[in-house]
Amino acid sequence: MSAPLIPPAVPAKPALPFLPFTRPSIDEETIAGVAEVLRSGWITSGPQVKAFEAKLSEYCGGRPVRAFNSGTCTMEIALRVAGVGPGHEVITTPLSWVATSNVILEVGAKPVFVDIDPVTRNIDLNRIEAAITPRTKAILPVDLAGLPVDRDRLHALAKKHQLRVIEDAAQSFGSTWQGKRIGSFGDFVSFSFHPNKNVTSIEGGCLVLNNEREAALAEQYRLQGVVRTGYDGMEVEVVGGKFNLTDVAARVGLGQLPHLDAFNAKRAELVKIYFELLNTPANRGLALQLPVADFTATNWHMFQVVLQEERLTIKRARVMELLQAAGIGCQVHYPAIHLFALYRRLGWKDGDYPLAEYAGRNILTIPLFPAMARADVVRVVAALAGILKAHQK
């Protein structure tokens, strides 16, 4: 008796690769350039940093620009150059990476939070004037996800009250206001080149200043307050830090800058697909709020939705867990700053800034980076929509 025929096993369909919420695109020319820097023997601050600063200055309309090892120290140094210190107050938003307010504490000043506009998720400029006191020295706004704060109103407010402005433009490199590049006008402008930003130098940032006097002081703060003259002259007049950028990092930044417009154009293309898919009749009733559909000023650093917690039976953490199980990365940018333990100890509490708190509990960053394809956006929307529909009230 012959053995029964056994049908061949159907090969399992390969699982889709994990889709992170972001991923930098670094070309081979840049990788080769980094190898050249490593071989040169000059890997700390040197000619590549100078070249990077020159290109950044050109991008910012010829304004003085200094490069640093993060987009956090740039804000701290801007505050110091502006003379902000103990006894002063700085107005800022509670919806940002905690670095935005930590630098205010670092210089001995007090953050004064102002609630957000729930549509733009940026600081509500209508609320700023009520927060100004005789101790107010500066305003430190944030362009959340790359959407610029209204620069006309911001600088008019600052001028009226004789305040300095330190723009936390960490997320808005490549964004514009009224057709002008962020960084090409205004007061201090701080950019970040962290790996999740639109262009990266691995770690790093830069500060745009108003004149060479401010730039020279920023340089002092950048490296232990040291000023060198001649062959052996050295003086220290201020307490500086160790904030210099390496030539290795600068070479990555130099390789990234020529691609900025293309990166941002691809981001905008992907975002249009997100809006298209999330606004279909089948998805229009999802329990979420979309970002402002701005395609003239925003660099689309991130694509963020705000879950409508009152319409869902699960919390954001469970939504994130289910997305992760589907092979889709997501992140939170950001919890409300004033509810961290450090800030609670300084006197802030639940209910102080309800709009920022709602966003902080429910904001969700979903994948967006230039190497994505339409099929990736389709996959993200299908997974997110499926999760929300299964758990909506």
List pLDDT tens digits, range 210-248: 999 999 999 999 999 999 999 999 999 999 999 999 999
pLDDT at position 4, please? 54
pLDDT at position 3, please? 53
266 counts as catalytic: no
276 sits in the region (left: phi over 0; alpha: psi -120 to 50; else beta) called alpha
Give percent of the chain with pLDDT exceeding 70.
Answer: 96
What is the Cα–Cα distance from 197 to 260, expressed in whole angstroms? Answer: 11
For residues 124 and 248, state if they share a domain. Answer: yes
List pLDDT tens digits, range 29-80: 999 999 999 999 999 999 999 999 999 999 999 999 999 999 999 999 999 9
For residues 98 and 177, state if they share a domain. Answer: yes
For residues 247 and 295, state if they share a domain. Answer: no
pLDDT at position 15, please? 76
Q: How confident is the model at residue 272 (pLDDT cuts 50, 70, 90)?
A: very high
Considering 227, 256, 285, which residue would you say is the last residue of a domain? 256
Q: Are 299 and 175 a contacting pair, CB within 8 Å? A: yes
For residues 264 and 193, state if they share a domain. Answer: no
Residue 12 pLDDT greater than 80, yes or no:
no
Considering 256, 271, 298, which residue would you say is the last residue of a domain? 256
For residue 278, the tally of other CB atoms under 10 A from its CB is 20
Residue 81 pLDDT greater than 50, yes or no:
yes
Decide if 10 is inside a domain.
no
**62 HSE (CA, 13 A, CB side):** 0
Decide if 166 is inside a domain.
yes
For residues 265 and 339, state if they share a domain. Answer: yes
Decide if 181 is inside a domain.
yes
Q: Are 353 and 115 a contacting pair, CB within 8 Å? A: yes
Q: Whose CA is closest to 211, among 187, 179, 244, 177?
A: 187
Considering 222, 256, 290, which residue would you say is the last residue of a domain? 256
Q: How confident is the model at residue 1 (pLDDT cuts 50, 70, 90)?
A: very low
pLDDT at position 153, please? 98
For residues 183 and 235, state if they share a domain. Answer: yes
For residues 228 and 269, state if they share a domain. Answer: no
Residue 168 pLDDT greater than 60, yes or no:
yes
List pLDDT tens digits, range 292-329: 999 999 999 999 999 999 999 999 999 999 999 999 99
276 token code pair: 């298209």
What is the Cα–Cα distance from 382 to 393, expressed in whole angstroms? Answer: 19
Domains: count for the chain: 2
pLDDT at position 288, please? 97
Q: Are 151 and 141 a contacting pair, CB within 8 Å? A: no
For residues 272 and 236, state if they share a domain. Answer: no
For residues 239 and 286, state if they share a domain. Answer: no
Parent domain of 268: 260-390
- Encode burial over 184-216: b for 16+ CB neighbours within 10 A, e otherwise: ebbbbbbbbbbebbbbbbbbbbbbbbeeeebbe
Q: Rounded to whole angstroms, what are the CA distances from 78 to 75, 186, 205, 253?
A: 5, 13, 13, 21
Residue 11 pLDDT greater than 70, yes or no:
no
For residues 125 and 68, state if they share a domain. Answer: yes
For residues 121 and 140, state if they share a domain. Answer: yes
Residue 2 pLDDT greater than 60, yes or no:
no
Average pLDDT score, the chain = 96
List pLDDT tens digits, range 117-165: 999 999 999 999 999 999 999 999 999 999 999 999 999 999 999 999 9
Decide if 13 is inside a domain.
no
Average pLDDT over residues 358-363: 98
Cis peptide before 334 (omega within 30 of 0): yes
| CATH number of residue 238's parent domain | 3.40.640.10
Residue 284 pLDDT greater than 50, yes or no:
yes
Write down the catalytic residue from 197, 266, 315, 393: 197
For residues 35 and 113, state if they share a domain. Answer: yes
Decide if 279 is inside a domain.
yes
